[in-house]
Amino acid sequence: MKTSSFLGGVLAIGLSSLNAIVAQDFASHGIYTEPVTGITFFASEETNGTITGDGEFSTVSWGGFTFGVALPPDALSRDTHEYIGLIIGSTPTGQGGWSGIVHGDDYSAGMPNHLMLLAWPTGNENQIATSFRYSPAYQYPVPYRGSANLTQIYSNVNETHWTLVYRCQNCLLFDDPAQDSFNASTSKGTFLQGWAQAYVPPTDPKNPLSDFEQHNNGMGEFVIQVQSATHVSYSDWATKTATGPIATGTTTATATISSIPVPTGDAYDYIVVGAGAGGIPMADKLSQSGASVLLIEKGFASSGRWGGTLRPENHWLDGTNLTWFDIPGECNRIWNGGTAGVVCTDTDQMAGCTLGGGTAVNAGLWWKPNPMDWDENFPAGWKSSDMAGATERVFSRIPGTDHPSMDGQRYLQSGYDVIADGLANAGWKYVTANDAPSEKNRTFAHAPHMFSGGERGGPMATYLVTANGRSNFHMWLNTSVERIQRDGGHATGLDVVAFNNGGRVGTVKLAPKGRVVLSAGAFGTPKLLFRSGIGPTDQLQVVKGSSDGDKMIAEKDWINLPVGYNLNDHLNTDTVISHQNVSYYDWPAAWLTPIPSDKDLYLSSRSGPLAQAAPNINPIMWEEITGPDGKVRSMQWQARVEGSNRIPNGISMTLSLYLGRGEVSKGRTTIQKGLNMLVSTIPYGDPNDLAACAQAIDNMVAILSKVPGLTWNLPAPGVSGADYLKSVELSYANVGSRRANHWMGTAKLGTDSGLTGGTSVVDTNTKVYGTDNIFVADASIFPGQVTTNPSALIVTASERAAELILALPV
C-alpha cells in the first residue's frame, strides 16, 4: 500500500463522521483500520494543503498528516496510561522531515510539561526513528526521563509519506523527574493531543536523539473521543511487534557555559534583579543617589547599543549598530522565528528574557497612564495625584511618538483609514492619545510608541544610558539569580549562576544596610520569592522537594505570603474584518528580504515602513462598558493589518479586543518540581467580564458594518458577541489565542498584609511583608489590570517605587 494513495482516498472519505469539540481541532475524524496490522483506530486527519505563516492551528499540512489511537476496552471506566498509535507523516520534498505528537490531557495539549513523541524516517529502508522529548516551557525540548516506553509494531516508508504503528506504554502519564506527575484522564471521555510537522529533516536522521529544527509544516490539536477509540481486541493487538532493525541513538554532549566567579570582596548598597521595564529605571534612580548599584539580567544584550548581535543571516544589517530589537518594523520577529535565546525558558507563557525584557521585544506601545488606572486599582500613596510627578519624569525622558518615521510621514495607512472612517461616522472622537490620557471612552487614536530617532528607544536608550555613565553603577548580563540569602527577614546576598556564556557564579553580597529590589516580572519575581522561602506553603513545599531542597532556607524561616495569586492579564478576543482597500505588508519577509527601497530609506534616514511597528498597528480604540454587575470595564481595541483564525493575509485586518481596567477574573501562577513556572489557573472567564466583552463586540460590529464594502469575517454575519465568545475556547489549551501577554499582579501591592490573612505581598513602599530590605518593582505589584498596554505604567510605577525606597531610613 502506498501511503499517498491512502491519504488521498480511504481516509479522506472515512473521516467525516465526527466533529471536533474545540475550536482548535480542524481535523477530520473517523474510524480507520490499518490494512497491514488489522488494528482499528480513531483517526484524525489534516488534509494536504499549503501552509501560511507558521501554520499555527493549521487546517492543512503539506502532504497531509494523520494520527490514530486505539485504547483498551475499559478506558472509559478507568484511566489508562497506554495506547496503540498510528502516525502517517509527510515528507513532501522527498528529503525527509519529522512529525510529532504532544500527549495532552483534558486541559491542554501544549508543549510545556507534556510528553512529546517525535518520529521520522532514517533513510534506511522502512526504518523509523522515535524519540521522547520534554520541555517545561516553550523552549527546545530535551530527552524525556519519565517512564514512557514505545514498542514499534509496523513501519513503512515511501518517497513522500511514511507510516508508523506503535504501542506507547505510560505515554498518558507525565512523570519526568523535573515535573509534578499527572496524567491524562481517559475516563472523562475526551482528551487532547497536539501535533506538528516539519519538512526539514533532523540533523542526523539515523540518531533518535538528533537535534531538529522547529516545525514548519503545520501544528494544532486533536480531540480524542475515548469511546470511539476503545477496542475489545486491544490486548491481542498490543502483543504485536515489528520486524527489522529499530533505530537507536546517542546523546550529543551538552555545551558547557563559561562563567566568571563573583568577586569575594564586593558588596552593594542595592541589587536590582531584572533589567526590564521595572529594573532599568529603578537601577538608574537608585544609582543617581550615589549608592552602589548592581543590576543583574538573566539574558544577553539585545540592542546593538549594548553589544547585541542578533542580525539577519543574510547580513543586511552588518556594519550597523542595529539588531532586530532596535528596528521597529522587526518587532514581531519574536513571533516569527526569533525566540531562540530570547524568550524565557522557565515559564509556559511568552516572555522576554533579554536586556530590556518586554520593552526589548514588544511593539513598543507607549501610553500615558489613564488616571483611573491608579485611582481604581491602587491604595493611598499610589493614586493619580501621587503618581503625577513620576509620570512627568517618565514622559519627559520617553515622550513617545505617533509619527515614528523620521520624515514625519505615516506609512501604510490603508487599514487605519477604513476603520477610522467608520468610527468617525459613528460619532467616536479622534484624540492624540498622550495629550488626553483620560479620554478612553468612544475614542480612537494613532498609537504612540516609545520609539525615538526611528529606533526602539525606551528605557534602554534613556535610563540605562544615564545609569551606565555613573561609576557606582554595575551591570551583569547572562546571570540568573537563584535565590535570596537571608537571615530571617533580612536579605544578606544573592546566589547566582551563569545563564549564558560570561555570566557570574557564586554569592553576591549586600552591604550591611543594603537592599534587594526584584524586577524579574510577573513570573520571574514569584519564582525567586518561592525559591527564597517566601510564598504560600504549598509552593514552598514544592521547592523543598526539588533540586533546590538542600539549599533552601529552613522551614522555620519561611514567610507565608500569597505570592503567585492575583494573576491578571488583558483577556484577548480576536475578531477579523476584510475590505478591498486594505493592503498587507509582508513584515516577516522583511527579516531576510526587505523591500530594497524600504530598507534603503530606513538605513539612510530611519524613515519609512521599517520605522513603524509591525504589523501596521492602528488604529487603537476605546470604549467603556458596564457589566451586569454594575462595574465599568475598559475595552481597548487594537487593529493590525494581518489575518488570523484561518482568515488569510491580504485584505484582512485583525481587531483584538482587550478587556482591561475593571476586569474581575483572577488566576494563579505556581512553581513546578523542575522549578519552572506555570499558569495553573487562567485569569479569564468571569461571566460579568464576558458579558461586557460581548457587548463591546456587538457595538463594534454595528459600527463597522456601516462601512461600505467592509465584511465581518469573525464574528460571521448574524452571530452575536455572546455566541461568538462561546465559540472561542476559553481554556488553558487555547490560552495562546486569549492572552495579551500583559501579565500582572502576582506580588500584589496593598495595605492588607498577607501575613495576617490579607491579599497583599508588598506594602505601599513596595517592601515585601515580613522583610526589612526586600522590595518588588515590576508588573507583579499591580493590584488590577490597566486600560492600555502596560509598559509605560510599569516604568512609572518603578519611578514611584524608587522615590519611596530612597525616602526610607537606612
- In the residue annotation, 215 being an active-site residue is answered as no
Three-state DSSP string of 147-167: CCEEEEEEEEECCCEEEEEEE
- Extract the C-alpha cell encoding 404: 515614528
Q: Could you say which DSSP state residue 554 is in?
A: P
Provide CB contacts within 8 A for 625, sequence distance 6+: 632, 633, 635, 692, 693, 695, 696, 699
Which of 681, 663, 691 has its CA nearest to residue 784? 663
Residue 271, classed as helix, strand or coil, is strand
Three-state DSSP string of 408-429: CCCCCCHHHHHHHHHHHHCCCE
- Extract the C-alpha cell encoding 281: 529605571
In this structure, are residues 692 and 635 in contact, taking their beta carbons and an 8 Å threshold?
Answer: yes
- Extract the C-alpha cell encoding 298: 538573566
In this structure, are residues 360 and 279 in contact, taking their beta carbons and an 8 Å threshold?
Answer: no
Q: Which of 161, 231, 446, 742 is catalytic?
A: 742
Three-state DSSP string of 301-327: CCCHHHCCCCCCCCCCCCCCCCCCCCC
C-alpha span between 712 and 716 (Å, rounded): 6
Which of 512, 492, 510, 387 has its CA nearest to residue 798? 387
The amino acid at 508: V
In this structure, are residues 627 and 426 in contact, taking their beta carbons and an 8 Å threshold?
Answer: no
In this structure, are residues 89 and 65 in contact, taking their beta carbons and an 8 Å threshold?
Answer: yes
C-alpha span between 290 and 271 (Å, rounded): 14
C-alpha span between 757 and 794 (Å, rounded): 27
Catalytic residues: 742
